[in-house]
Amino acid sequence: MAKNTQPIAKRCKALGISPAVMGYAKKNTTRNSNGNFRKKKSEYATQMQEKQKLKFIYGVLEKQFSNYFEEASRRPGQAGENLLQLLECRLDNVVFRLGYASTRRDARQLVSHNHFTVNGKRVNIPSYQVKAGDVIEVVEGSRKIEKFAKLTGADAAVVALPGWLSRETGTLKGVVTRLPERSDIDYEVQEHLIVELYSK
C-alpha cells in the first residue's frame, strides 16, 4: 500500500502548517529557519503549496487527490468546499477526529488492521467515505488492546470533537451527526487556489 513517509516537522515547516494539525503537538524544527523567505513565490507555486498542504495533511498521493478533485467538481456547490468535505469524510480522518488515534497516519494503520466497524460491518479501507448517520465503533475483539482500553478509563484524555461528530462518553462508539462544512475546517487553507490550479 502506497503511503506518505515524509518527515513531519520538516514538511510542516515547508508548507506553513502547525504540526498540531497532524496530531504532533511537540514536533518542531529550526532547520533552515529563513528558507521560506528567500524569494517571492509565483502564483503557480502558491497554488501548488495549497495542494501539497492538503495532500500531506490527509496522507493522500497524487492520483487519489486528482480523483477527489474530479469527484468534488462533479458535485453541486463549490468544488473547493466539496474537496475539503471529501477529505474530511475519509474513515481514517474520522477515526483521528474521534480521538481513537493520535495522528492520521496512526489512524490509517488502525483502519487497515481491521479495528473498526461502520454500521456494524468491518471496514479496513482508510479512504472509505462515511455518511451522515454512520456509526463508527472499535470492534469488540480490539477493545482490550491497551491503545483502546486507555481511551475509556478514568484517565482518558478529553477530545475536542468537531461539530459534525459525536462520541458517547466512556465508549468506543462515534457517530457522524452531519457532513462537515467549511466552517468545521480547523486549519488554514485557501482551497480556491487549488481550484484555480486544476482549472488551467
Per-residue pLDDT at 29? 46
Give the Cα-Cα-Cα angle 17, 172, 135 (nearest 5 degrees): 85
Q: Are residues 84 and 104 part of one domain?
A: no
For the chain, the residue count is 200
Q: Are residues 70 and 103 part of one domain?
A: no
3 domain-assigned: no
pTM of the predicted model as reported, rounded to 2 decimal places? 0.82
Q: Are residues 147 and 128 part of one domain?
A: yes
69 domain-assigned: yes
In the structure, what pLDDT confidence band is assigned to residue 4 with cuts at 50, 70 and 90?
Answer: low
Q: What is the pLDDT of residues 105-130, one digit of tens each?
A: 999 999 999 999 999 999 999 999 99
Reply yes or no on whether the pLDDT at 182 is more than 80: yes
CATH number of the domain to which 21 belongs: 1.10.1050.10
Q: What is the pLDDT of residues 35-85, one digit of tens each?
A: 444 567 899 999 999 999 999 999 999 999 999 999 999 999 999 999 999
In 3D space, the residue among 172, 112, 160, 161 whose CA is nearest the CA of residue 136 turns out to be 172
Q: Which helix (H) or strand (E) holds 57?
A: helix 43-58
Distance CA 124, CA 152 (A): 23
Reply yes or no on whether the pLDDT at 149 is more than 80: yes
Reply yes or no on whether the pLDDT at 93 is more than 70: yes
Residues pairing with 136 in the sheet: 118, 174
CATH number of the domain to which 115 belongs: 3.10.290.10
Average pLDDT over all residues of the chain: 87
93 domain-assigned: no
Q: What is the dihedral of CA 186, 159, 91, 185, to 10 degrees?
A: -10
94 domain-assigned: no
Per-residue pLDDT at 139? 96
Q: Are residues 127 and 84 part of one domain?
A: no
In the structure, what pLDDT confidence band is assigned to residue 31 with cuts at 50, 70 and 90?
Answer: very low
Question: Which range of residues forms the domain containing residue 54?
Answer: 8-88+190-199
DSSP 100: S
User: Region 83-88: what's the mean pLDDT?
Assistant: 98
Q: Are residues 74 and 16 part of one domain?
A: yes
